[in-house]
């Protein structure tokens, strides 16, 4: 068994000023209030608002406003957002609302007039607070990463934008965040970056931290000018396994770990190590502020300010099979959910025990009507669906690569560790069969046969699957101590993957696209700039790392215990 060297707390090191704890933060804001008597404490949805309000009240401003009191009624907001929430238990439609739509126009105007006429100290707290104050006001922003918001959903401890939905099912809270609230907050925050004077990190409820604008932008700039990693987070799953516990040095007391989200910038955090203190912010800030340098001009032109490549781990060692599932076509997600591209993906086998398998594609000659009928009966509990009757059950070995373009029925079976490489939309999985099990909450997980049957590509039969989706590898180039192989993805997918085997230095170019890589074999490598523009960057086994497009070129060399030994990385980028 290898000794874990996986870094669970990667950070960009910078020098700067950081305040820790409410006492220091409030003391500093008190001084600011004397020189700038009007202050807006704006925030992302999911912040513990009462914590912020109770602390800010210590400043005793002459006027105080909570933006929730300036919003439209909860009934009006539910009616306004109803078309985006829909009646579905999981899926909604992407909103076109803005934060301004939440305000009652009369209440907003009255609050602005009171502040303008008052002339003394005034503080506005809550999402959209910056819209209530004049442009001369000091703006503080309390940020929040989506991974933490989802933990708070599970605790039923936070309210949504403008409504109290704490007692609603977690799936409904998540749906409101994904389709509505997060989009609105991202759009609003994007208008504020150069207006915010101080940034607050309250991810650790008991240890808030605050940095100023200069430190914030120094961290953003330092991150995008070098290789970097986002902060991984780990989650249990009904099918979860035990491999990550040992490999990543995780808590053995947890029942399992099914997921490791190792590169999902929309949800992951980014750490700044400010003189030894970790300041946490959403990695999405980097995407919104530095999309051109990070993604590359052609990628930004195609996807806008969205990070299109996702890496995560699925661990089923000593666990169970994932749900048998299918991802929708691009046209279907566009028409049904307002999303402009779908979740194509692949399974790269990071590890596999002797009896590991994947279910991929459909068996040649099966009856479409019979399969759908059996899935519908299984959904009602009338029979146990026979997955092996209808799908190809394929033995899986370490370093196999299975391609899964949208419309392909698939799932990973037990005893494997999948590095899932996919396009970013991460909600659109239509579960067809879940092996008669319950979710971690003790309730059945939603099955989507009705939607799934509309997007299954029935031409993906046994012959097609083995020819086009299983280990479609070819050598691109090779030299002394290295080899580059093309491993995918499918022609229908926009992501290209290359595998590099090397015992000596390999040279890479970003080719105007962000590069996402993982060290799939070897203990340690070093990433360097041939021109010396960034400091050498160390990567350990199984760590996913990001190379911004603007870096242009870089090298990767085995180092440490791997010096002179063969290592392997898998690299993904956007093909043009």
Q: For 282, how many CA atoms within 13 A lie in the half-sphere containing its CB?
A: 26
- Position 2 scores a pLDDT of 67
Reply yes or no on domain 12-223 having CATH 3.30.420: no
pLDDT average, residue stretch 286-308: 97
Residue 104, pLDDT > 60, answer yes
Residue 338 pLDDT grade (very low, low, confident, very high; cuts 50, 70, 90): confident
- Position 540 scores a pLDDT of 98
Residue 296, pLDDT > 90, answer yes
Q: Report d(CA 146, CA 460) in Å as an integer.
A: 35
Fold of 233-468: Jelly Rolls (2.60.120)
Contact 488, 423 (CB under 8 A): no
- Position 3 scores a pLDDT of 74
Rg (CA), the chain: 25
Residues in the chain: 576
Tally of helices (H runs) and strands (E runs) in the chain:
17, 31
pLDDT average, residue stretch 119-136: 97
Query: Do 12-223 and 474-574 fold alike per CATH?
Result: no
- Burial per residue of 357-385, b for 16 or more beta-carbon CB atoms within 10 angstroms, e otherwise: bbbbbbeeeeeeeebbebbbebbeeeeeb
Strand, coil or helix: what is 527? strand
Residue 108 pLDDT grade (very low, low, confident, very high; cuts 50, 70, 90): very high
Q: Report d(CA 76, CA 79) in Å as an integer.
A: 5
- Position 154 scores a pLDDT of 94
Give the distance from CA 453 to its chain's centroid.
Answer: 27
Give the distance from CA 111 to its chain's centroid.
Answer: 37
Output helix, strand, coil percentages for the chain, rounded to the nearest 5. 30, 30, 40
Contact 384, 324 (CB under 8 A): no
Q: Report d(CA 134, CA 126) in Å as an integer.
A: 16
Average pLDDT, the chain: 96
Residue 506 pLDDT grade (very low, low, confident, very high; cuts 50, 70, 90): very high
Instruction: Return the DSSP state at 162.
Output: T
- Position 492 scores a pLDDT of 86
Strand, coil or helix: what is 486? strand
Residue 242 pLDDT grade (very low, low, confident, very high; cuts 50, 70, 90): very high
Residue 493, pLDDT > 70, answer yes
pLDDT average, residue stretch 327-335: 91
pLDDT tens for residues 63-78?
A: 999 999 999 999 999 9
pLDDT average, residue stretch 395-403: 98
- Position 119 scores a pLDDT of 86
Q: Report d(CA 371, CA 236) in Å as an integer.
A: 31
Q: Is 164 exposed, middle or buried, given 0-12, 13-18 or 19+ CB atoms closer than 10 A?
A: exposed
Map out the domains of the chain as residue ranges.
12-223, 233-468, 474-574
Global pTM value: 0.96
Least reliable range by pLDDT among 235-244, 334-343, 522-531: 334-343
Contact 486, 473 (CB under 8 A): yes
Q: Which residue has the higher pLDDT, 90 or 542?
A: 542
Q: Report d(CA 537, CA 96) in Å as an integer.
A: 41
Q: Work out the percent of the chain whose per-residue pLDDT is above 70.
A: 99
Q: Work out the percent of the chain whose per-residue pLDDT is above 90.
A: 92
Query: CB neighbours (10 Å) of residue 88?
Result: 16
Q: Report d(CA 344, CA 575) in Å as an integer.
A: 14
Closest CA to 229 of 189, 272, 258, 200: 272
pLDDT average, residue stretch 405-428: 92
Residue with tokens 């799939």: 520
What pairing do the DSSP bridges indicate for beta strands 233-235 and 277-282?
A: unpaired
Query: CB neighbours (10 Å) of residue 87?
Result: 6
First to last CA, the chain: 41
Residue 1, pLDDT > 70, answer no
pLDDT tens for residues 518-548?
A: 999 999 999 999 999 999 999 999 999 999 9
pLDDT tens for residues 417-456?
A: 999 999 976 778 999 999 999 887 887 888 999 999 999 9
Q: Is 125 exposed, middle or buried, given 0-12, 13-18 or 19+ CB atoms closer than 10 A?
A: buried
Strand, coil or helix: what is 112? helix
Torsion of CA 117, 123, 129, 132, to 10 degrees: 0
pLDDT average, residue stretch 132-144: 98
Q: Report d(CA 401, CA 412) in Å as an integer.
A: 12
- Superfamily of 474-574 according to CATH: Jelly Rolls (2.60.120.10)
């Amino acid at each position: 068994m290898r000794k874990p060297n996986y870094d669970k707390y990667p950070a960009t090191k910078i020098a700067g000023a950081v305040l820790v704890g409410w006492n220091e933060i409030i003391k500093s804001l008190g001084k600011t209030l004397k020189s700038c008597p009007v202050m807006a404490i704006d925030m992302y949805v999911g912040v513990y608002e009462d914590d912020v309000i109770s602390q800010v009240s210590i400043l005793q401003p002459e006027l105080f406003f909570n933006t929730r009191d300036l919003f439209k009624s909860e009934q009006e907001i539910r009616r306004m957002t109803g078309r985006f929430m829909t009646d579905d238990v999981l899926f909604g439609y992407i909103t076109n609302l803005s934060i301004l739509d939440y305000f009652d126009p009369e209440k907003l105007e009255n609050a602005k007039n009171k502040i303008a006429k008052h002339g003394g100290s005034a503080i506005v707290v809550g999402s959209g607070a910056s819209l209530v104050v004049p442009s001369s006001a000091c703006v503080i922003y309390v940020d929040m990463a989506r991974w933490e918001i989802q933990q708070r959903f599970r605790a039923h401890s936070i309210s949504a934008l403008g409504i109290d939905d704490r007692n609603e099912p977690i799936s409904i809270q998540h749906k409101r965040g994904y389709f509505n609230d997060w989009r609105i907050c991202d759009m609003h925050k994007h208008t504020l970056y150069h207006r915010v004077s101080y940034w607050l990190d309250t991810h650790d409820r008991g240890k808030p931290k605050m940095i100023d604008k200069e430190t914030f932008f120094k961290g953003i700039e330092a991150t995008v000018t070098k290789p970097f990693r986002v902060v991984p987070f780990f989650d249990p799953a009904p099918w979860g396994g035990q491999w990550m516990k040992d490999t990543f040095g995780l808590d053995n007391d947890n029942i399992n770990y099914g997921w490791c989200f190792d590169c999902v910038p929309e949800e992951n955090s980014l750490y700044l190590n400010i003189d030894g203190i970790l300041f946490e912010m959403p990695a999405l800030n980097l995407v919104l502020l530095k999309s051109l340098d990070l993604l590359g001009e052609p990628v930004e032109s195609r996807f806008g300010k969205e990070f299109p490549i996702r890496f995560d781990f699925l661990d089923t060692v000593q666990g169970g099979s994932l749900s048998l599932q299918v991802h929708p076509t691009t046209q279907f997600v566009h028409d049904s959910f307002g999303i402009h591209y779908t979740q194509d993906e692949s399974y790269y086998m990071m590890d596999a025990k002797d009896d590991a398998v994947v279910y991929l594609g459909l068996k040649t000659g099966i009856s479409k009507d019979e399969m759908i009928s059996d899935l519908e009966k299984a959904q009602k509990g009338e029979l146990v669906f026979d997955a092996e009757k209808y799908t190809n059950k394929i033995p899986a070995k370490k370093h196999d690569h299975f391609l899964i373009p949208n419309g392909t029925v698939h799932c990973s079976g037990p005893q494997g560790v999948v590095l899932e490489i996919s396009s970013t939309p991460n909600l659109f999985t239509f579960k067809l069969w879940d092996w008669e099990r319950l979710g971690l909450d003790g309730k059945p997980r939603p099955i989507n046969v009705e939607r799934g049957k509309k997007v299954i590509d029935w031409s993906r039969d046994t012959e097609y699957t083995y020819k086009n989706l299983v280990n479609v590898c070819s050598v691109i180039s090779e030299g002394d101590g290295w080899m580059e192989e093309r491993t995918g993805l499918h022609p229908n997918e926009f992501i290209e993957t290359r595998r590099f085997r090397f015992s000596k230095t390999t040279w890479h170019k970003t080719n105007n696209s962000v590069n996402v890589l993982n060290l799939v074999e070897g203990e340690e490598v070093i990433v360097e700039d041939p021109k010396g523009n960034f400091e050498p960057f160390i990567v350990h086994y199984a760590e996913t790392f990001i190379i911004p497009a603007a870096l242009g070129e870089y090298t990767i060399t085995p180092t440490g215990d791997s010096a002179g030994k063969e290592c392997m990385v898998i690299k993904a980028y956007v093909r043009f």
